[in-house]
Amino acid sequence: MKLAELAVRFGCELRGDPDIDVIAVAPLASAGAGAISFLANPRYRSQLLQTRAAAVIVDAAGAEDCPVPALVTQHPHACFARVAALLHPEPVAAPGCHPSAVVAADAVVDPSAHIGPQCVIGAGARIGERAVIGPACIIEPGAELGADVQLVARVTVCRGVSLGARCVVQPGAVLGADGFGYAPEHGRWVKVPQLGSVRIGADVEIGANTTIDRGAMGDTVIGEGVKLDNQIQIGHNVVIGAHTAMAACVGVSGSTKIGQRCQIGGAVGIVGHLTICDDVVVTGFTMVSSSIATPGVYSSGLPASGAAEWRRIVGRLRRIDAMANRLRAVERRLGGPGTTDDDL
């Protein structure tokens, strides 16, 4: 593809030879002839200066430094993503049901959809136009998948769960398993039927082995454009606002509401029944145990130290109460300031 065609298609300003051919994407450092790369993070500027890419996608600042032809845009990474998708298209899945798939007589599968080998499509399930259901997926009765949904492989969609258009789900994800609901009685647990479902908006992407539980009463709701990485656990009746992104291994307990455009780092845990407002960023390994009403960045992760030093720190921390009391005693001996326990 000519560089000029890419510039037109993606609305970029072109600097340099419009007739250059690009056939693939590659990282700045290793790109060679025919490869197009991008610069989104200024700390890779030195790689830009030495790149041998055929062309680079940059913003206006990067364009100043670019030694090769450039596509200039405000959002180089997003533009690069689109160029990459164009130059490296996914293999096309043929319409129709593989003969090894088990499709219920009253399931409604659009003729343009692809149903892979070993799939199970339950009674009353609906599969939208051009949907691609990879091998060994299970769509339980009454589930609804919108147009252009892509289940890569081995996805479990439990009964009645709905996915909006263009959702992409990676292998091993389980959408709509029972929530964890038990009532105590005489030292035992009585299962509370989980009668709600899961509603997933358009353009949601869900990672490998991620689990989203169905609601107890009422539904678990994932807003449009949400991106969930691998091995995330979403409890029953959680609500996640549009365009929120979560890194891997996050756990969200039941009935918590998370706002729009939040960014949740890896391995974060969020307690149940909280409300997190829009535009909150939580850094990795943080425990969120109370609601957050103000946009901003929140943390409680502790960075690694050498083990001996860490043991000393933990020992001191366990005695921090005594330390505070002794500091107050010292202050009193010095005649003030009078302090209350709450100040320290």
- Applying the rule CB under 8 A, the residues between 226 and 265 that interact with a second copy are 227, 229-231, 233, 235, 243, 245, 247-249, 251, 253, 261
Please answer whether residues 28 and 52 qualify as being in contact, where contact means their C-beta atoms are separated by less than 8 angstroms: no
**Residue 14 touches a second copy, criterion: CB under 8 A:** no
The pairing of strands 239-240 and 220-222 is parallel
DSSP string over 107-123: -EE-TT-EE-TT-EE-T
Which parts of 171-200 interact with a second copy (CB under 8 A)? 171-172, 174, 177-178, 180-193, 195
Q: Between 42 and 310, whose beta carbon lies closer to a second copy? A: 310
Interface with a second copy (CB under 8 A), residue from 135, 147, 257, 295: 135
CB of 339 to a second copy, least distance (A): 8
With both helix axes pointing from N to C terminus, report the angle between 320-333 and 307-318 in degrees, rounded to the nearest 10. 60
Q: How far is the CB of 118 from a second copy (least distance, A)?
A: 6
Q: Is the peptide bond before 337 cis (omega within 30 degrees of 0)?
A: yes
Binder among 47, 156, 197, 256 for a second copy (CB under 8 A): 156
CA pair distance 90, 264, nearest whole angstrom: 29
Residue tagged active-site, from 88, 236, 243, 273: 236
Query: Left if phi > 0, otherwise alpha if psi is -120 to 50, otherwise beta: which for 45?
Result: alpha
Site for a second copy in 73-112 (CB under 8 A): 75, 77-78, 80-82, 84-85, 88, 91, 98, 100, 102
Answer for the pair 276, 286: CB distance below 8 angstroms, yes or no: no
Contact between 225 and a second copy (CB under 8 A)? yes
Residue whose CB is less far from a second copy, 2 or 75 = 75
Residue 118 touches a second copy, criterion: CB under 8 A:
yes
Clarify whether 243 is annotated catalytic. no
266 near a second copy (CB under 8 A): yes
Cα separation values, 151 from 44, 48, 84, 178, 235, Å: 35, 37, 21, 21, 21
**Can residue 114 be called a binding residue for a second copy (CB under 8 A)?**
no
Q: Does 57 bind a second copy (CB under 8 A)?
A: no
Quote the CA–CA distance of 244 and 263 in Å, as a whole number.
6
Site for a second copy in 273-302 (CB under 8 A): 281-290, 292, 296-302
Q: Which two tokens stand for residue 245?
A: 């992104």
Least separation in angstroms between residue 19's CB and a second copy is 25
User: Is residue 10 within the footprint of a second copy (CB under 8 A)?
Assistant: no
340 binds a second copy (CB under 8 A): no
C-alpha span between 240 and 206 (Å, rounded): 13
> Which residues are designated catalytic?
236
